[in-house]
Amino acid sequence: MPDTAAGTATAFPPSILATAAPAIPAARAWAATYRGAAGPAIDLTQAVPGYPPHPDLLVRLGEEAARAANAGYGPIEGEPALRAALAADLARRYRAPLDAADVVITAGCNLAFVMTMTAIAGPGAAVLLPAPWYFNHHMALTMLGIATIPLPCRPEDGFVPDPEKAEALIDGRTRALVLVTPNNPTGAVYPPATIAAFAALCRRRGIMLVLDETYRDFLPGDAPPHGEFADPNWRDGLVHLYSFSKSYCVPGHRVGAIVAGPAIRAQLLKVLDTLQICAPRAAQAALAWAVPALASWRAANRDVMAARATAFRRAFATVRDWRIDALGGYFAYLRLPEAAPDALATAERLGAERGLMTLPGPFFGPGQERHLRLAFANADEATITQVPARLG
C-alpha cells in the first residue's frame, strides 16, 4: 500500500480526480474571515427559495413521514399518485397529452441528470453542454467518464445557444445535447423557436435532447415554454428533467422527475433500481397533494421571484461599472468592471472583505473569467438593494 499523498492519490479513479470540488462550499469559505465591516453577510451562492414551504405542505410532510407504510420501499418509478399529478400538471402547462406512464420520480434533479446520462451515454461518449454551464452537470459527466463538449454562448446573444454552432460540434461520440431553461447560471430563457430548432437538430443527427426545466415554474405568463410535447414523436428523442425543490421549497426532501418515452424508461429502470431503489416516499405522498392543491400559491411565488428580479435591475440602474449581462429565473449574471481583477480573485475579495458571497464565472466553464453569478432568489428586496454598495 502506498503511504505518501501522491501514492494515495493514484489509487483514486482518474474520472473522480478530474472532477471539480464542490463549488458552493469553496465560495462560502472565502467569507470565513469576514468580520462584518460592511454589515451582515449576504449569501448569494446557492439557488434556494427565500421563503418557507406552504404551512399545509409542512403538516402533510410530517403526517406522511409518520406513516409506517412510507418507511418501506416504494415503486421503482415513483409513487403513482405523484406521477399522475405531475403528468396532469405538465399536460395543462404544455397543452399536450402526457400521462403518468411518461413520468419517473427521482431523489432530486441532480440525480435525475446522473441517471439519465448513465442510461443514454456512458463512458467514452460525449455530450454537448452550452457554456456557461451548470457545474453539477459538468461534474456528473466527468465522473461518468463522458466528455463534455462546450457550446460557447455569447453575452451579446443573451447567452442563448446557437443550433448552427452546435451542429458543427457534433461528432460520432456525441450522444446527447443538454439545454437548461431558464438557465443556470445566466438566467437566460430560451425562446420556443430556439428549443424547436435544437429538437430538430437532435432528431436529424440521431442524438437525445435533454431539457432541464428546473426553473420553469418561474417563467412569466402561462404560455407553454415550448411546443415539443405536442409533437406526437417526442418520446423518441426528448428527455425532460424537473425539480420539485424550487417550486415547493423542499430542496432538503430531494424529489425530482424525468419525463421520457418507453424505450428510455426501460433502460432508466435499471439505473433507478441500482442508484436509488425509490425516491423519498413521504415527500412524494405530500407532493402528490401539493401539485394540484398549491397551484395558486406556486403562481404567487412566481410573482415574488419576478419582483426580486425587478428589484435587482432597479438596484443596478445607476451602477456604472458593473453590467447585468443576463437575468432570469433565480439568477443574475454580472460582468465585472474592466479594472477589476478576474472573477476568482474578485469573488474571494468580495467574500472576505465585504461579506458578499457569489460564484465566479470559471466555476461554470471556460471563458467566464469576467463574470459572477448571483442567486438573488433567497434575498428579499431590502437585501437586494444593498448589493451594489457591497460590490463597490
User: How do beta strands 331-335 and 323-328 pair?
Assistant: antiparallel
Distances (CA, A) of 125 to 122, 152, 299: 6, 20, 40
On whether both 29 and 77 belong to a single domain, the answer is no
Q: What is the pLDDT of residues 146-183, one digit of tens each?
A: 999 999 999 999 999 999 999 999 999 999 999 999 99
Domain contains 244: yes
Q: Which three cell numbers stand for residue 386?
A: 444593498
- Backbone phi and psi for residue 21, each to the nearest 5 degrees, phi listed first: -70, 155
pLDDT of residue 124: 94
CB neighbour list of residue 262: distance below 8 Å, 6 or more residues apart: 101, 235
- Backbone phi and psi for residue 96, each to the nearest 5 degrees, phi listed first: -145, 155
On whether both 312 and 268 belong to a single domain, the answer is no
CB neighbour list of residue 286: distance below 8 Å, 6 or more residues apart: 57, 60, 61, 63, 64
CB neighbour list of residue 25: distance below 8 Å, 6 or more residues apart: none
Q: Which three cell numbers stand for residue 278?
A: 425509490
State which of 263, 294, 325 marks the end of a domain: 294
Question: Among positive and negative, which fits the CA dihedral 68, 71, 77, 83?
Answer: positive
On whether both 38 and 170 belong to a single domain, the answer is no
Asked if residues 372 and 325 have their Cβ atoms less than 8 Å apart, the reply is no
Which residues in 260-330 belong to E strands, given as ranges? 323-328
CA neighbor of 110 nearest in space, from 129, 130, 137: 137
On whether both 197 and 304 belong to a single domain, the answer is no
On whether both 28 and 139 belong to a single domain, the answer is no
pLDDT of residue 311: 95
> Which range marks the domain in which residue 47 is found?
5-52+297-391
On whether both 328 and 285 belong to a single domain, the answer is no
CA atoms of 290 and 286, how far apart (whole Å) = 6
Q: Which three cell numbers stand for residue 98?
A: 402526457
On whether both 290 and 301 belong to a single domain, the answer is no
On whether both 23 and 128 belong to a single domain, the answer is no
Q: Which three cell numbers stand for residue 337?
A: 468592471
CA 56, chain centre distance (Å): 26
* Residues forming beta bridges with residue 334, ordered by sequence position: 324, 372
Strand, coil or helix: what is 28? Answer: helix
* Tens place of pLDDT per residue across the chain (392 aa): 334 445 555 789 999 999 999 999 988 999 999 999 999 999 999 998 889 999 999 999 999 999 999 999 999 999 999 999 999 999 999 999 999 999 999 999 999 999 999 999 989 999 999 999 999 999 999 999 999 999 999 999 999 999 999 999 999 999 999 999 999 999 999 999 999 999 999 999 999 999 999 999 999 888 999 999 999 999 999 999 999 999 999 999 999 999 999 999 999 999 999 999 999 999 999 999 999 999 999 999 999 999 999 999 999 998 889 999 999 989 999 999 999 999 999 999 999 999 999 999 999 999 999 999 999 998 999 999 999 999 98
- How many beta carbons lie within 10 A of that of residue 63, not counting itself? 13
Question: What letter would DSSP give residue 11?
Answer: T
On whether both 122 and 260 belong to a single domain, the answer is yes
State which of 239, 260, 294 marks the end of a domain: 294
Question: What letter would DSSP give residue 106?
Answer: E
Domain count, the chain: 2
DSSP string, 210-238: EEE-TTGGGSSSSS-S-SGGGSTTGGGTE
On whether both 305 and 288 belong to a single domain, the answer is no
Distances (CA, A) of 43 to 53, 244, 247, 264, 375: 20, 22, 20, 39, 8
pLDDT of residue 5: 46
